[in-house]
Chains A and B, each alone.
Chain A
């Protein structure tokens, strides 16, 4: 999929060279032209045409934005509490996702959920070690939202 996006960007850039007009609009029309080329050639490509996943991608992006806003307010709520009685710690979580892109996206999403940062991922990409600010509450919320994230990521990459 990454190769298709890269090829599309290259076609857009070539279009700018051919037109000899360095503006965003020219690049955009070249990009659209590249989309057409890749769409015609989709039978010969090893993976699916990447725009077929656009809907899932937009949903994932929306999920990212919602998570960052919610998590910011949870963290601020903890910060401005007059007596800060938090129980931080590191817990482990297993994942069923495979491949570098899927694991990276899940790590990004978990880092954006309330009070959790991925500290380390095991050698075989199976176990995440996550630091949270408050073990009893927040580790449960991470484990609950894990399935939601995994499904959203699978829809984009598979």
Chain B
């Protein structure tokens, strides 16, 4: 087995891991009870899956084609930067539009804080 086959095998394994992680996060999306828990599955596992696939593609271009792809590099950077922000914004919008937490939830500190905040603004 020469060096090139080894590199290709490694890249294939990275992309396979990315696919499996993406698949598992899709299962989590179906199994978890409410929008907040589903955001966990999407914000982390899906990000890792997409990152693995992109890194694998980047390595294919670098080693097999011998070409440093700036676009893929930018793609990795932006996926990494935007996925936590989007999950935060989705959760916040859901809470603001009164989507209730799942039945099994045990604690909600934010509810009291929002009630107090509303009182203060009414007083002023």
Contacts and interface: CB of A to CB of B under 8 A. Distances in A.
Do chains A and B stick together as partners? yes
Given A24-B70, A64-B80, 11 more contacts: A69-B48, A72-B44, A76-B28, A79-B27, A87-B105, A89-B108, A90-B108, A90-B111, A92-B109, A117-B43, A129-B109
B101 interface: yes
Contact of B92 (A24, A78, A115, A119): A119
B32 A89 contact: no
A112 interface: yes
Interface of B: 21, 24-25, 27-28, 31-34, 36-37, 39-41, 43-45, 47-48, 51, 70, 80, 84-85, 87-88, 91-92, 95, 101-102, 104-111, 113, 117
A62 to B, nearest CB: 13
Given A71-B44, A79-B31, A108 B70 contact: no
A89 B106 CA distance: 6
Given A80-B27, A115-B40, A117-B87, A135 B107 contact: yes
Overall SS of chain A's interface: mixed
Most B C-beta atoms less than 10 A away, residue of A68, A78, A114, A133: A68
Interface of A: 24, 64, 68-69, 71-72, 75-76, 78-80, 84, 86-92, 107-108, 111-112, 114-120, 122-123, 127, 129, 131, 133, 135
Contacts of A24: 70
B109 A86 contact: no
A64 to B, nearest CB: 7
A119 B36 contact: yes
A72 B21 contact: yes
Contacts of B31: 79, 84
